[in-house]
Structure 1
Amino acid sequence: MANQPVAAASKLDATVLKIAGVVVLGAIMSILDVTVVSVALPKFQNEFDASYARVAWTMTGYTLALATVIPLSGWAAERFGTKRLYMMALVLFTAGSGLCATADSISQLIGYRVLQGLGGGMLMPLGMTIMTRAAGPERIGRLMAVLGIPMLLGPIGGPILGGWLIDVASWHWIFLINLPIGAVALVYAWLALPKDNPAPSESFDFIGMLMLSPGLALFLYGVSSLPEAATITATKVWLPMVVGAALVIGFVLYSFKPQHPLLDLRLFRNRNLTIATISLFVFIIAFMGAGLLFPSYFLQVRGESTLHAGLLMAPQGIGAMLTMPIAGMLADKIPVGRTVPFAMALIAAGFFTFTQVGADTSYWLLCGSLFVMGLGMGGTMMPMMTSALRTLTNHEVARGSTLTNIVQQIGGSVGGAVMSVILTSRLNESAPVPGAPAGPDGKPVTEAALAIASQTHPEMLPPGIPPELIRKGLDFVADSFATTFWVGFALVLATFIPIAFLPKKREVSHLLDDQPEGERPAAPAIIH
């Protein structure tokens, strides 16, 4: 292998593809589980006789666990080795899935979801580390494109899979399905991943952990509570956000003192990493935040079932699958600063359609726009992540992938909360229905609420509702979605600012810089 020509080493050989298969399996489980559960929330309400705010913690608890454990993964990967840590994460996630299926109360389910999140939070950063080291400097783009497929298809396939499993079986199967996949992934990882060669033990940054992990969890808790409270002045919103932000800021000021901090912010001295991370952050706030609302439009305005709403989102995934392998190959040959702006322009073009959405906009137009957005997505997200990691040394990769994963987690949470608050506040401006009794919250029933109920739970509508009242409400709801999409569109346009600074010249890889001269193989697939 060491005598293999470098040109041949740039191809994806069987060894690298086997490693990629392990990582993709773990990523599929981790990402799908976020979106699969989202369609089961109404089922949890009926099953456990709980409020929506209570069952929503099955998602929030999972997210907070992810945020808490991600900072630890960089240090742990270097201390214990990526193979054994990845296998431990698979065991935690799979065991948490099995326990979720046995829950007989909402409190148990939330607790088991936290356990799931502790495993799931390590799968993505560890997977990125494993693939970056396996690919070597000449193949990072193509390997990151492989990892990007589950990242893009998760939000699309999750609702389809979840809706189908709940329809044909029961809610338990959205968790039970992870058991065989987890078992296969565990055996696969044991056989395919290279043997660990962990670095000499570094001191663990306990002070940093006590600031960063609780800080991230508290901040994201406040952000996650924002849609329910509908105002940032609510104590359960601003208090954890302020305390969490203070802890994170304290960590930032502290992190430059220890030699081995929990999260190595010194990596931001790398210009490429900094620009790519900022670009990712703005992009994820815009796209992931608004992306959560696309299925809601089909459900609440068009009256589609959960399964049909998921199927209507499929063109986005198809578009991404078409361009992602091409973008991965280009990222290894052409500077990302020359390709990402064109892909982002496709996203902006497709996104604009949703700013004009109405109560009866053509599905051909909407699905075509989603397809165009998918084409852009396939050429945007993973090339930016490739740019972020390409110029790090082998020793820095684990901590660099941890940084990018935390940025994605925070960006997705902030984007989802902001878009939900904008949509909720706009819907609250709807006119009350004349003569209608107050709702369960003591507030008068609005035309928008009546219209949404007509699409989601028509059997619960009181008789004698004038059709023109429903139509008026649906037009208002559609207009509220369009207003929210305008905010997302503006954020997509804002992403063009940081991506303008992405490298436009060939990047010099430093992945092998910290390897002794005599140990640098021509075929980087065996680096680990």
Structure 2
Amino acid sequence: MENTQNHLDIHGKPYNRITVMLLILFATFAGILMQTSLGTALPTLMKEFDINLSTAQQATTWFLLANGVMIPLTAYLATRISTRILHVGAYGLLAIGIGLTALTPANHSSWIIFLVGRVLAAIAVGVMMPLMQIVILNMFNLKERATALGLGGLVIGMGPAIGPTLSGWILDQNHVVLGVTISNSWRTIFVLPLIVVLIAFVLSPFVMKDVIPNKSVKLDVLSLFLSVIGFGLFLLGFTNVATAGWTDFMNVILPIVAGIVLLAIFVIRQLKLKVPFLDIRVFKVKDFTIPTLTVIMVAMAMYGVEMMLPTYLQNVHGLTPLNSGLTLLGGALMMGIVSPIAGILYNKVGVKRLALVGLSIVAIGTLPFTFLSATTPTHIITVLYAVRMMGVALTMMPLTTRAMAALPTELSTHATAANNTMRQVSTSIVVALLTSVTQNIMNTHAPAEALKAADPIKYGAQTLTASMDGFRVAFTMGLAFAVIGFIMALFVTNQPQDKKEKTK
């Protein structure tokens, strides 16, 4: 990268890009870690709060939803509010959300408090994640963006990947924090991210600079309402499938249909507004839309296995949270190794080749998961998961970089918001959908309760079979997303040569 000292913020003052970049990367990593950190803790939460799988999974689905519905607002906030103030506010809100979740009393009636803390943290991360990409796009030129966004991709990809392993280690150990011994409680999961975020909150007024040009833009409240309520109802319907079934009109069908209607009105309104809340006209550019949709398939394929695997390992294999987390560690390490390499390869081999190879690896690595049994060796699962994550790392940020390269820098705030909104909402939907489907199949195939007293061994065997049926369907859906993504990648085009030459 070029000299990091001779760059000016929007006020004409020099600043160091590296210090700004490091602050954003570390703080955003701590925030994104919260997305999947509860993956290995779900069985523990189910026991502590006396809830079932679909209810416990709300800790993730509602985090992803709040994350997703906030991202469109980031385009407005980044344009309207100082970059420094926006970061300080986001870090402060994240600290409040994490703290509230960690201090929630462990009983059934307090679950709503736990979710409120998760939503507050998600709102902050929903601002931080696209803001990181917008800042990168404004700090680095075209030639440098692939590498810079590759580092951002390392955070976005590795945070969710390492979350289950870190949580598993925490849940299986006693820890000493500031001289105080803390037992292996689920609350400890939030300690390290909270410390990082508090440090970022203190440093951000001094390190962060105003690098995104600001202008006075009026907030379209109706658009905000339509997006939040529309996405919320849409996800609520999928979340209710686990307990209500697919045919329940009031709890499933009505929320989904109402959500679709509100989102359709939202889209129509954005096309008519002179200054849209979220400029969805960026999707008229083919070279932005196809990579973005392909990224969505990659994300859905990744979460399709990642969010269900820890529960499978603990409930079916009987692994401890630590051991189930260690099973996923290889995938997290693969993300860390391959993501920066993918940024370098982007300029050398082109995004299309990377995407096709990456999605092929994701699909091949996912296929064996559809045949998992209660006796599948965990070392086989470890290898397969690592293979999948290598494919994800080769694909995710190169496709995002290609999408951003298709549009001028002045549209970066809306393009980044649109790209991240689509990805986050789709992942929140897929987590809710797969959890609902898995729970629904388990409930449908579960043996009669009377069998438990009459023949406990047979009851246990049939319960295990029902669980495996549910998990295999979830993994099969993950495979389907990877295959669809591969087909879409066939239509991705490499960055035009003349644009590449301008970056040299």
Instruction: Please give the range of the TM-score, normalised by the shorter of the 2 chains.
Output: 0.7 to 0.9
Match of 1:406 in 2: 421
Match of 1:262 in 2: 277
Match of 2:146 in 1: 141
Hey, what's the Cα distance between the residues in 2 that align with 1:250 and 1:303? Answer: 48
Q: Is the 8 A contact 1:391 1:507 kept in 2?
A: no
Does 2:387 align with 1:382?
no
Question: Could you give the per-residue CA deviations for residues 318-337 of structure 1, whole angstroms, max 9, x where no partner exists?
Answer: 22222211110121344211
In structure 2, relative to structure 1, the CA distance for the partners of 1:374 and 1:47 (3 Å cut) is: closer
AA aligned opposite 1:392 = L
* Residue 483 of structure 1, CA deviation: 4.0
Does 2:199 align with 1:162?
no
In structure 2, relative to structure 1, the CA distance for the partners of 1:239 and 1:48 (3 Å cut) is: same
In structure 2, relative to structure 1, the CA distance for the partners of 1:407 and 1:508 (3 Å cut) is: farther
| Runs of 5+ consecutive residues of structure 2 not aligned to the other structure | 5-14, 175-182
In structure 2, relative to structure 1, the CA distance for the partners of 1:46 and 1:426 (3 Å cut) is: closer
* Residue 143 of structure 1, CA deviation: 1.4
Match of 1:122 in 2: 127
Hey, what's the Cα distance between the residues in 1 that align with 2:439 and 2:112? Answer: 27
Q: Is the 8 A contact 1:84 1:196 kept in 2?
A: no
AA aligned opposite 2:482 = V
Aligned counterpart in structure 1 of residue 339 of structure 2, from 314, 318, 324: 324
Q: Which shifted more, 55-64 or 174-183?
A: 55-64
AA aligned opposite 1:283 = V
Q: Is the 8 A contact 2:164 2:325 kept in 1?
A: yes
Q: Is the 8 A contact 2:149 2:343 kept in 1?
A: yes
Match of 2:486 in 1: 496
Q: Is the 8 A contact 2:75 2:413 kept in 1?
A: yes
* Residue 233 of structure 1, CA deviation: 2.6
Q: In the TM superposition, what are the counterparts of 1:432-447 in structure 2 within 5 Å?
A: 432=447, 436-437=449-450
**2:367 partner SS:** helix
AA aligned opposite 1:172 = R
Question: Could you give the per-residue CA deviations for residues 105-146 of structure 1, whole angstroms, max 9, x where no partner exists?
Answer: 333333333222221210101111112222221122211221
Question: Could you give the per-residue CA deviations for residues 431-463 of structure 1, whole angstroms, max 9, x where no partner exists?
Answer: 626xx53xxxxxx76xxxxxxxxxxxxxxxx79
Q: Which shifted more, 153-162 or 47-56?
A: 47-56
**1:76 partner SS:** helix
AA aligned opposite 2:351 = V
Q: Which shifted more, 137-146 or 327-336?
A: 327-336
AA aligned opposite 2:311 = S
Does 2:370 align with 1:366?
no
In structure 2, relative to structure 1, the CA distance for the partners of 1:146 and 1:250 (3 Å cut) is: same
Q: Which shifted more, 474-483 or 17-26?
A: 474-483
AA aligned opposite 1:35 = T
In structure 2, relative to structure 1, the CA distance for the partners of 1:408 and 1:46 (3 Å cut) is: same
Q: In the TM superposition, what are the counterparts of 1:449-528 in structure 2 within 5 Å?
A: 465-466=456-457, 470=460, 474=464, 477-506=467-496
AA aligned opposite 1:265 = I
Does 2:413 align with 1:394?
no
Q: Is the 8 A contact 2:236 2:255 kept in 1?
A: yes
Q: Which shifted more, 232-241 or 408-417?
A: 232-241
AA aligned opposite 1:77 = A
Hey, what's the Cα distance between the residues in 2 that align with 1:367 and 1:201? Answer: 51
In structure 2, relative to structure 1, the CA distance for the partners of 1:344 and 1:42 (3 Å cut) is: closer
**1:392 partner SS:** coil
TM-score by length of 1: 0.82
Q: Is the 8 A contact 2:442 2:469 kept in 1?
A: no
Q: Is the 8 A contact 1:215 1:245 kept in 2?
A: yes
Hey, what's the Cα distance between the residues in 2 that align with 1:294 and 1:402? Answer: 30
Question: Could you give the per-residue CA deviations for residues 160-197 of structure 1, whole angstroms, max 9, x where no partner exists?
Answer: 32233344223332233333211222244334433346
TM-score by length of 2: 0.86
Q: Is the 8 A contact 2:331 2:385 kept in 1?
A: yes
Query: What is the RMSD of the two structures over their aligned residues, measured on CA atoms?
Result: 3.0
Match of 1:80 in 2: 81
Q: Is the 8 A contact 1:313 1:367 kept in 2?
A: yes
**2:218 partner SS:** coil
Hey, what's the Cα distance between the residues in 1 that align with 2:270 and 2:204? Answer: 33
Hey, what's the Cα distance between the residues in 1 that align with 2:309 and 2:45? Answer: 22
Return the index of the structure with the highest Cα Rg.
1
- For these two proteins, the number of residue pairs brought into alignment is 479
Hey, what's the Cα distance between the residues in 2 that align with 1:319 and 1:228? Answer: 36
**1:395 partner SS:** helix
Q: In the TM superposition, what are the counterparts of 1:206-225 in structure 2 within 5 Å?
A: 206-225=221-240
Hey, what's the Cα distance between the residues in 2 that align with 1:250 and 1:159? Answer: 38
AA aligned opposite 2:83 = T
As a proportion of its length, which structure holds more helix?
2
AA aligned opposite 1:130 = V
In structure 2, relative to structure 1, the CA distance for the partners of 1:31 and 1:348 (3 Å cut) is: same
Q: Is the 8 A contact 1:142 1:332 kept in 2?
A: no
Question: Could you give the per-residue CA deviations for residues 17-69 of structure 1, whole angstroms, max 9, x where no partner exists?
Answer: 43332222222222211222344445445555566665554444433432332
Match of 2:322 in 1: 307
Question: Could you give the per-residue CA deviations for residues 346-404 of structure 1, whole angstroms, max 9, x where no partner exists?
Answer: 11111112122222223333222222212211101111111111232222111111111
Q: Is the 8 A contact 2:138 2:212 kept in 1?
A: no
Does 2:30 align with 1:18?
no
Aligned counterpart in structure 2 of residue 108 of structure 1, from 91, 104, 113: 113
In structure 2, relative to structure 1, the CA distance for the partners of 1:230 and 1:325 (3 Å cut) is: same
Match of 1:519 in 2: none
Match of 1:91 in 2: 92
Hey, what's the Cα distance between the residues in 2 that align with 1:208 and 1:157? Answer: 35
* Residue 313 of structure 1, CA deviation: 0.9
In structure 2, relative to structure 1, the CA distance for the partners of 1:171 and 1:398 (3 Å cut) is: same
Hey, what's the Cα distance between the residues in 2 that align with 1:310 and 1:483? Answer: 22
Q: Which shifted more, 57-66 or 201-210?
A: 57-66
Hey, what's the Cα distance between the residues in 1 that align with 2:146 and 2:243? Answer: 40
**1:37 partner SS:** coil
In structure 2, relative to structure 1, the CA distance for the partners of 1:62 and 1:426 (3 Å cut) is: closer
Hey, what's the Cα distance between the residues in 2 that align with 1:303 and 1:384? Answer: 38
Q: In the TM superposition, what are the counterparts of 1:4-83 in structure 2 within 5 Å?
A: 15-44=16-45, 47=48, 56-83=57-84
Hey, what's the Cα distance between the residues in 2 that align with 1:342 and 1:54? Answer: 37
In structure 2, relative to structure 1, the CA distance for the partners of 1:109 and 1:352 (3 Å cut) is: closer
Q: Which shifted more, 100-109 or 370-379?
A: 100-109
Hey, what's the Cα distance between the residues in 2 that align with 1:349 and 1:81? Answer: 45
Q: Is the 8 A contact 2:314 2:321 kept in 1?
A: yes
Hey, what's the Cα distance between the residues in 2 that align with 1:151 and 1:227? Answer: 29
